[in-house]
Structure formats: C-alpha cells, structure tokens
Amino acid sequence: MKNPKVLVVGGGLAGCEAALYLARHGVSVVLAEVKRIKANPSQKSKSFAELVCTNSLKSKDPNSSHGILKHEMKGLGSLVLEVGLKTSVPAGDALAVDREAFSAQITQVMEATKGIEVIDVEVSDPMAFAKKHGCHFTIIASGPLTTSPLENWLAENIAKEDFYFYDAIAPVVDADSLDYSKLYFKDRHKPVPEEEGLEADYLNAPMTEEQYYTFIEALVESEKVPAQKFEDYKFFESCLPVDIMAERGKETARFSCMKPIGLELPDGTLPYACVQLRKENLIGSAFNLVGFQTRLKYSEQVRVFKTIPGFEKASFLHLGSVHRNTFLNSAKALNWDFSSKKFPELFFAGQITGVEGYTESASIGLYVASQVLRKIHGHEAYIWPVDTGIGALVNYVMTAKKPSPSNINFGLLPKVELTKDERRDRKNRKKVKKTKASAAARESFDKILPNIIPLHESVSSRV
Ligand SMILES: Cc1cc2nc3c(=O)[nH]c(=O)nc-3n(C[C@H](O)[C@H](O)[C@H](O)COP(=O)(O)OP(=O)(O)OC[C@H]3O[C@@H](n4cnc5c(N)ncnc54)[C@H](O)[C@@H]3O)c2cc1C
C-alpha cells in the first residue's frame, strides 16, 4: 500500500502506543482526541495518556504477570514503558510514575513526532471521519469513558448490547495534613530500610480491633452516590469499592485492602487492620489510599475517612468516585486481530476490547498496531500463542462466554508442569509456578517477535 494512513481515535494509553508504533514504521497517523475540548469526569489534565486513578503501572518483577507484559511491551518498543521508567517514583517492586510528568512527556512525543497529526475533536462517526482524512484504517481506542456520540455509533453499528459497566477511583490525601505520630512507613513483607534518609515506599495507618469495626460500620451506614437511571452497578472483583467490601461482610476488607499481614508495627506486633498509603509523586506531597475506591458521597468520604488514625485533620486533594466503563463483547464483534467482523478496516484497541488496566490497554494498543501494520504490508493477521502475556489477554477476551474485563494474571496463561519435588514443596510451589510460566512466556515471545513485525519492510524511525 502506498502512503498508508491510519486514524487513531483516542489519545489514551492504547491510542498513543498505537500511534507511535505506526509512525515509527513509516505510517502516517491522524490522532483524534476529545479531552482538550470536552474532558470526561475522571480527566483532570489536558495531557494525553492520563492515569485517571492510581499512578501505578504495576509490578516490574519479571516473574509476575505484569512483568511478562512489560517484557513484551519492551520488545515492541513501548512508549508507555519507556516514559514510565523515565518518570518513575519509588514504589517497591511496582512501576509507579509521577503522573503529570508521565502524561506531559507522552503528549510531547505525540505532538513532536513527524508522521502523527494530532486533531482535537470528538469523533462520532469513525468511518466518515477516516474517509474525510484519507485514512485507510481506523483504530478505536476511546477507552472506558468513550463519549456518547461514538458510543451510540458503536451500539448501532457494532455492538448492539453489552455496553455499560462501572469502575471506581480512590481518594488522594495531602501529605502535610497527616499526623505522622500515628502512622509508620513499611512495605509489606519487607524490613524497614536501616540506612539514614531512606524510608519505605508505603505509609500505613494501623487500626485496633475496635477502630476497625467502627470504621466498617461507618462505611456501611454512610450515604452513597446513587446509581443513575441507566446505570447498573457491576464492578471488577479486583477493583471493588471499599464500601462494597464493607457491605459484603465485617471481615472482607481485613482480608483485602486493609490486610495487616507483613505490616508489623515498629514494636514488632501486628495491627488488627491497616490502611495503606502510597506516594502520588516523587516529592511525596500526596498519598493515594490504596484500594479505597468508593461510592460514598464526597461529604461522607471526608467524615468517614477522617476517623482513620492520623487522618483527623486530613485534607483531601481529590475524593473517590465511581465511573462507567464502556467495552465490547469482543468475542462476538471482533476478529482475533481485533478488527471488526463487520468493517475489516476498523480495529479496536485498549480497554474497550474488554481488557482492564493501564498496562493491559497499552499492550493491546501495541498488539493492534502491529496487526494493522501487517495488513498494510499485505500480511495475514498473526495470532499470538496463548503462553505469551498479550496472547493470553487476547485469548481471554476472544473466548470469554460472558464478557467480563480482566487484568493480566497467571490464570489466563496455560498451566505449567511442576516436577514431583516442586509439587511437594508447598512453601515455594506458587513461586516456582510463576517463575516457570514467566520464563515460558518470555521464551515464547522472543521466538515470535520476528513474526509479529514484518521486519523485512522498511522500518523508518521518524521520531
Ligand atoms: C474511574 C476509573 C478508575 C480506574 N482505575 C484504574 C487503576 O487504578 N489502575 C489501572 O490500571 N487502570 C484503571 N482504570 C482503567 C484505565 O484507566 C484504563 O485501563 C486505561 O486508561 C485504558 O486505556 P485506553 O487507552 O483504552 O483508554 P483511555 O486511557 O481512557 O484513553 C481513551 C481516550 O479516548 C478519548 N476519547 C473518548 N471518546 C472519544 C471520542 N469520541 N473522540 C475522540 N477521543 C475520544 C478520551 O478522552 C481518552 O483520552 C480506571 C478507569 C476508570 C474509568
């Protein structure tokens, strides 16, 4: 194909990855993004690839499921990973970033890359928009909060049903407003750093038995934001609002986001429960309440969260909330390269395909861009093996009987065989399984990499 041109709708994590991947391979890209003219309720900045909730891109450990994805992202030249590493803030094994610096740098790359034309616009009919701009292919990466006109177009032309879902945001507290005499720094299962000037990445608010049950009761009794008429609350199990946990049972939070295990107090004893706080930025001026996504009304959040030890005078930089999540029934609507069954020149990437999370969405952005590139060069779609991280995600959404967005996790990868001795070693069995699955995924990806990218075609670095 001569002078190939691709429309990417959405300058989020998937859209930016896809745009740069294609531009680096000599394809002209029109990147259409609405947020600078009409932001959605979770967007706070004008920058692209905004991290709307936590600032964590999850584990860097090569033997974790997110580590597997990072290996593959690196192999595909991921911008999200590159900028994530450049703007990282300390967070133990996790790759957490300074969210403003992260998004600012990605925006700068989008705007400065020869071959990418950024247009501030709300796309409502992607086929008509692509035609108007002379684009041969379109990638829709409009994310969990796709705007209504596009959503309507998709409902009418692609999806028909299975469209609404919900997700939730955790509050962020001003570091200067906390009472540190009641808090302590410690990373779970790690000794407190002994070297002077060093501190753990996590700050913890310990609770006694009485404090914990009073807090849970307050969560249950507090006023929640009611669901809108068109809403039907269905949450990701891995991202449940803390008030829903409290409603599920008195002990639920203590075995989840308020788990004390591995967070011994300085005197060596274990608190009854713990609220964990993670730094929001490098200077540590703000903390995110880990796992505290919530449906509580703003005034109720302030009242209830101020009962956490050390939070008596807390000032919240932003409060938690609940948001919609738009995604397709990919198994019904899409082919395995995430092109539409109905319109072969129309592709989908990111969370809208039914994956969940920043890293997962960015990975799918790269996956789809590589499939579009293959198509441009006249190659068939390349279906990745299920023992790779991205292959496992694609396999999950394409075979799910009932679409239910998922993060990457070892359950999506094929089972690994353990030796008799490894099976008997109960203490290390899980770790060995993960290590083996991760090694197999890396090996599989390294083997298929030359098949993914049509390397024999000219690869021009136009950045
Ligand atoms: C409330 C909430 C909390 C979340 N919490 C977490 C979390 O803690 N950890 C985590 O890993 N993930 C979290 N997620 C999910 C995470 O945000 C997504 O996985 C990720 O951002 C998806 O990437 P994406 O590129 O698919 O979409 P996005 O990053 O959302 O990007 C889509 C872009 O498309 C634009 N757009 C939408 N409609 C149009 C249109 N019609 N025309 C042009 N542009 C359009 C949007 O403005 C946006 O910039 C959360 C999501 C929400 C909504």
- pLDDT, tens digit (0-9, with 9 covering 90-100), for 345-367: 999 999 999 998 999 999 999 99
- Could you name the CATH architecture of 5-165+327-452? 3-Layer(bba) Sandwich (3.50)
CA of 41 to the centre of ligand 1 (A): 11
**Is residue 461 pLDDT above 60, yes or no?**
no
Which of the pair, 239 or 118, is modelled with greater confidence?
118
Residue 158 CA neighbour count, 13 Å, CB half: 30
Rounded distance, CA 122 to CA 284, Å?
36
294 lines ligand 1 (CB under 6 A): no
CA of 33 to the centre of ligand 1 (A): 12
- The pLDDT score that the predictor gives to residue 363 is 98
Rounded distance, CA 437 to CA 232, Å?
37
Secondary structure of residue 407 in the 3-state scheme: coil
Instruction: Give yes or no on whether 5-165+327-452 and 168-324 have one common fold.
Output: no
- The pLDDT score that the predictor gives to residue 323 is 67
Enter the tokens of residue 56. 């964590």
CA of 10 to the centre of ligand 1 (A): 9
> Could you tell me the pLDDT band of residue 230, with boundaries at 50, 70 and 90?
very low
Q: Which range is most confident: 52-56, 110-114, 161-165, 175-179?
A: 110-114
Domain boundaries, the chain: 5-165+327-452, 168-324
Nearest to 326 by CA among 68, 103, 181, 140: 140
> Could you tell me the pLDDT band of residue 459, with boundaries at 50, 70 and 90?
very low
Residue 433 CA neighbour count, 13 Å, CB half: 17
167 lines ligand 1 (CB under 6 A): yes
**Is residue 404 pLDDT above 80, yes or no?**
no
Residue 111 CA neighbour count, 13 Å, CB half: 11
Return the CATH fold of 168-324: Elongation Factor Tu (Ef-tu); domain 3 (2.40.30)
**Is residue 458 pLDDT above 60, yes or no?**
no
**Is residue 457 pLDDT above 60, yes or no?**
no
On whether the CB atoms of residues 369 and 17 are closer than 8 A, the answer is: yes
| Residue range 156-165: mean pLDDT, rounded | 74
84 lines ligand 1 (CB under 6 A): no
pLDDT digits (tens, 9 = 90+) for 109-143: 999 999 999 999 999 999 999 999 999 999 999 99
On whether the CB atoms of residues 326 and 146 are closer than 8 A, the answer is: yes
CA of 100 to the centre of ligand 1 (A): 16
315 to each of 69, 274, 342, how far by Cα in Å?
36, 19, 51
Tell me the sheet residues that pair with 174: 286
